[in-house]
Amino acid sequence: MLSLPKIVTIIEVGPRDGLQNEKNEVPTEVKLQFIEKLQLAGVEEMELTSFVSPKWIPQMKDAEEIVARTKKIGRQFVLTPNAKGVELAKKATASSFAVFVGVSDTFNQKNINKTTEESMHELRPIVEKLLTEGHFVRACISTSFYCPYEGAIAPAKTIELCRKFVSWGVQELSVADTIGMANPLECFMLFESLKKEFPNTLITAHFHDTRKMGLANILAALQAGVDRFDTSAGGLGGCPFAPGATGNVATEDVVNMLKQMSIDTNINLESLIQAVDIVAPYMSRPIDTGMYKLSKCK
């Protein structure tokens, strides 16, 4: 007998993770319309943008305007890689922050030019200050299963990194299969361990669909007790520092699967498809997720 949650929270990452690697420049007004439609569809937690250097991620150059002009509905995350990013985000009235680090040293160095240990040393005072100020902090753990440069990551390394963040007091761990190489058994085993060790911390699973195992991995994580998932409308995404990684698992496909399993997400599938319609014309590749393609065949 499967043990599954009755309610699942979807954290929509399309506006940030989904668009960060898009080659075409997406106008600010289009991003705002996309975000608003996602909110109208019932999305209550969302990654809006990231406060990073436009030199490295040009798509995020409008971060301050995005935060300032988005209706304050639910929990809205901004990704902040360093102290400067945090200060810019706070100036823009952000209140929920995401920090990130790779379990893999090589990935971390290519991403932000620091080893994992150096990143953690820099992040600790930032995280502790944010928590003292009453902000919500999620820690995004990249390359939790596999690294494009180092290969398989030992589960113990991922758990140890999570343990450090939990000891600092972060409220959430977003554990990512950054390049989409994990299989359902690996996902079940890691998330079962994380749920047992950190019962008072929100555990979120973040899957990419490189090998079309995203939905299978979500089912495995559900069985391990996970009830929070990062997903991206339209299956948008990819990482500029993870060669070969495709988009995130698609929100519409996840919502549909959960609905068919009588698991509530509070998200309207039709409105979700309409949100994808807003950004689809600006994408450099066609949207080919299952539910989106099916909606166009009616």
Phi, psi of 125 (to 5 degrees): -65, -30
Please tell me the chain's helix, strand, coil percentages from 3-state DSSP, rounded to the nearest 5.
45, 20, 35
pLDDT of residue 298: 66
Is the pLDDT score of 243 beyond 60?
no
Could you read off the pLDDT of 139-194 as tens digits, one per residue?
999 999 999 999 999 999 999 999 999 999 999 999 999 999 999 999 999 999 99
CA-only gyration radius of the chain, Å: 18
pLDDT of residue 239: 57
Is the pLDDT score of 291 beyond 60?
yes
DSSP state letter for 297: -
Mean of the pLDDT values across residues 212-235?
97
pLDDT of residue 111: 81
Q: Point out the catalytic residue in the list 147, 162, 239, 297.
A: 239
Is the pLDDT score of 297 beyond 90?
no
Could you read off the pLDDT of 187-198 as tens digits, one per residue?
999 999 999 999
Token pair 């007004």 in the structure block, residue: 29
Instruction: Give the alpha-carbon dihedral of 261, 267, 268, 269, to 10 degrees.
Output: -60
Q: How far apart (Å, rounded) are the C-alpha atoms in residues 239 and 287? A: 17
Closest CA to 106 of 153, 140, 157, 150: 150
Active-site residue, 239 included: yes
Could you read off the pLDDT of 64-111 as tens digits, one per residue?
999 999 999 999 999 999 999 999 999 999 999 999 999 999 999 988
At 209, the pLDDT band (50, 70, 90 cuts) reads very high
pLDDT of residue 255: 98
Q: How far apart (Å, rounded) are the C-alpha atoms in residues 221 and 211? A: 17
Domain-wise residue ranges, the chain: 9-295
Does domain 9-295 fall under CATH 1.10.420.10? My reply is no
pLDDT of residue 112: 85
Q: How far apart (Å, rounded) are the C-alpha atoms in residues 255 and 263? A: 9
